[in-house]
């Protein structure tokens, strides 16, 4: 490989799934003002990555083709652009790239200093890379939308977290239990013990009658629902909500937006709240430090080399993995430069 080129995966049009990802050699990007060049050690994949490829966010995303997907990264700063003051060459970091330009599924990527944080030695690259999209979404849904205080203060809130074994859900359960909350969670039968181990007080198999109806085993009404699943109508949520309960939908579709509008227009005390995650550096730094302190875990349990990253892509499209998906670089004598995609437990 030429000195100024790097290995990356990209696609050139909408659609095609994992088969459309092509291995290419492209120029190593150059950091501009306020940016850092990161030699990547781990890259996390999220459902939004395949949704962009499928065209579900067109014409906004991606910004242009060809497109190198993935935005959640961890690695080592190897070059800083003009005006960068927080980092220097050799610093270990976690960052979130822009979905418009992407760039994560590669050996190097450029990240904005404003969305990059230091990664302490206690936090592995894979653990750090799992945090940006999934962790920040869970954090914003809980703290800003649901009003949970993660220091444990305030009155107890009854929460429901749907799809609790997924990327956002597993962070939401753990973060919620840092606050004064009672957490009911839904997932598939095979993941019930796993979700319980994350701290959930009650776990429902979503395929059982009570699980499909979202009924709390202890008869509680929910003050807030962190809704990480799809396909559940408002009519199922409403009877399970407290008087001023709200459903925070992290992937709102047309029906959710219509319900949101109707509840606003009718001044309903029960609300559906669409969530638009806005990444903030201070929140990402907070999450990284929780991992350092052992208060938050990123769940990863299998790995793919970059040469087979299409397997990781296919897995996230399948939608049956647990936790986060990421690509990790190993520095071992016989594996230097190899990349692997740790896929969360299936």
Task: Name the pLDDT band for 309 (thresholds 50, 70, 90).
Answer: confident
Domain that holds residue 94: 5-130+298-340
Burial class (CB in 10 A: 0-12, 13-18, 19+), 207: exposed
Burial per residue of 97-134, b for 16 or more beta-carbon CB atoms within 10 angstroms, e otherwise: bebebbbbbbbbbbbbbebbbbbeeebbbbbbbbbbbb
- Give the β-pairing of 181-187 and 222-227: unpaired
- Closest listed residue to residue 284, CA positions, set 103, 43, 101, 74: 74
In a domain, 202, yes or no: yes
Tens digits of per-residue pLDDT, 71-91?
A: 999 999 999 999 999 999 999
Q: Which two tokens stand for residue 45?
A: 């994949």
What is the mean predicted confidence (pLDDT) over 281-293?
A: 98
Tens digits of per-residue pLDDT, 97-156?
A: 999 999 999 999 999 999 999 999 999 999 999 999 999 999 999 999 999 999 999 999
Residue 245 above 60 pLDDT?
A: yes
The pLDDT value given to residue 152: 96
Task: Name the pLDDT band for 65 (thresholds 50, 70, 90).
Answer: very high
CA-CA distance, 332 to 250, in Å (whole number)?
39
Judgement on whether residues 116 and 199 belong to the same structural domain of the protein: no
SS3 33: coil
SS3 81: coil
Answer for the pair 229, 252: CB distance below 8 angstroms, yes or no: no
Element (H, E) at 51: helix 47-54
Residue 164 above 70 pLDDT?
A: yes
The pLDDT value given to residue 301: 56
Among candidate residues 241, 274, 307, the one where a domain is terminated: 274
In a domain, 287, yes or no: no
Judgement on whether residues 113 and 142 belong to the same structural domain of the protein: no
In a domain, 288, yes or no: no
The pLDDT value given to residue 304: 73
Crossing angle for the helix pair 47-54 and 309-318, to the nearest 10 degrees: 90
Judgement on whether residues 266 and 150 belong to the same structural domain of the protein: yes
Which residue spans within 210-267 are E strands per DSSP? 222-227, 241-249
Residue 166 above 60 pLDDT?
A: yes
- Closest listed residue to residue 104, CA positions, set 89, 113, 94: 94
Task: Name the pLDDT band for 262 (thresholds 50, 70, 90).
Answer: confident
Domain CATH for 233: 3.40.50.720
Judgement on whether residues 121 and 164 belong to the same structural domain of the protein: no
Judgement on whether residues 108 and 140 belong to the same structural domain of the protein: no
The pLDDT value given to residue 130: 93
Worst-scoring range by mean pLDDT, 38-47, 84-93, 148-157, 298-307?
298-307
The pLDDT value given to residue 42: 92
In a domain, 183, yes or no: yes
Task: Name the pLDDT band for 12 (thresholds 50, 70, 90).
Answer: very high
In a domain, 100, yes or no: yes
Handedness of CA 51, 20, 45, 8 (dihedral sign): negative
Answer for the pair 247, 268: CB distance below 8 angstroms, yes or no: no
- Closest listed residue to residue 134, CA positions, set 252, 298, 315, 291: 298
In a domain, 81, yes or no: yes
Judgement on whether residues 248 and 158 belong to the same structural domain of the protein: yes
Judgement on whether residues 120 and 140 belong to the same structural domain of the protein: no
In a domain, 249, yes or no: yes
Domain CATH for 120: 3.90.180.10
Residue 305 above 90 pLDDT?
A: no
Q: Which two tokens stand for residue 29?
A: 């990007």
CA-CA distance, 307 to 322, in Å (whole number)?
23
Matching residue, tokens 């039968």? 189
Matching residue, tokens 């959640």? 72
Residue 59 above 60 pLDDT?
A: yes
**Which residues, other chains included, contact 96 with Cβ-Cβ below 8 Å and sequence gap of 6+?**
71, 72, 73, 111, 115, 116, 132, 133, 136, 279, 284
Residue 291 above 80 pLDDT?
A: yes
CA-CA distance, 161 to 34, in Å (whole number)?
37
Judgement on whether residues 28 and 75 belong to the same structural domain of the protein: yes
The pLDDT value given to residue 324: 63
CB atoms within 10 A of CB 321: 22
Q: What value does the mean pLDDT of the chain take?
A: 91
Judgement on whether residues 179 and 213 belong to the same structural domain of the protein: yes
Count structural domains, the chain. Answer: 2
Judgement on whether residues 46 and 33 belong to the same structural domain of the protein: yes
In a domain, 291, yes or no: no
Worst-scoring range by mean pLDDT, 4-18, 52-66, 73-87, 253-267?
253-267
Judgement on whether residues 139 and 269 belong to the same structural domain of the protein: yes
What is the mean predicted confidence (pLDDT) over 48-65?
A: 95
Judgement on whether residues 148 and 247 belong to the same structural domain of the protein: yes
């Amino acid at each position: 490989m030429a000195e100024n080129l790097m290995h990356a995966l990209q696609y050139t049009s909408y659609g095609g799934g994992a088969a459309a990802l092509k291995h290419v050699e492209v120029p190593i990007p150059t950091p501009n003002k306020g940016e850092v060049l990161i030699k990547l050690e781990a890259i996390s994949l999220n459902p939004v990555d395949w949704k962009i490829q499928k065209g579900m966010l067109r014409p906004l995303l991606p910004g242009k083709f060809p497109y190198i997907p993935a935005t959640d990264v961890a690695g080592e700063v190897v070059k800083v652009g003009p005006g960068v003051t927080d980092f220097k060459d050799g610093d270990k970091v976690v960052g979130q790239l822009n979905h418009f330009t992407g760039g994560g599924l590669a050996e190097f990527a450029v990240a904005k200093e404003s969305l990059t944080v230091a990664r302490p030695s206690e936090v592995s690259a894979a653990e750090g890379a799992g945090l940006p999209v999934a962790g920040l979404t869970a954090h914003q849904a809980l703290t800003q939308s649901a009003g949970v205080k993660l220091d444990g203060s305030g009155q107890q809130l009854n929460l429901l977290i749907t799809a609790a074994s997924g990327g956002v859900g597993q962070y939401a359960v753990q973060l919620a239990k840092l606050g004064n909350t009672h957490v009911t969670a839904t997932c598939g039968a095979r993941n019930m013990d796993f979700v319980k181990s994350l701290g959930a007080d009650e776990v429902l198999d979503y395929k059982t009658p009570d699980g499909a109806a979202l009924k709390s085993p202890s008869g509680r009404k929910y003050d807030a629902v962190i809704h990480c699943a799809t396909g559940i109508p408002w009519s199922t949520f409403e009877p399970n909500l407290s008087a001023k309960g709200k459903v925070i939908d992290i992937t709102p579709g047309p029906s959710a937006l219509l319900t949101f509008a109707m509840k606003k227009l009718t001044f309903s005390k029960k609300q559906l709240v669409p969530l638009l995650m806005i990444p903030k550096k201070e929140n990402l730094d907070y999450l990284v430090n929780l991992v350092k302190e052992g208060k938050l875990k990123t769940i990863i349990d299998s790995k793919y080399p970059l040469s087979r990253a299409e397997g990781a892509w296919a897995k996230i499209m399948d939608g049956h993995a647990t936790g986060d998906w990421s690509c990790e670089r190993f520095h071992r004598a016989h594996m230097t430069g190899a990349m692997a995609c740790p896929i969360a437990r299936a």
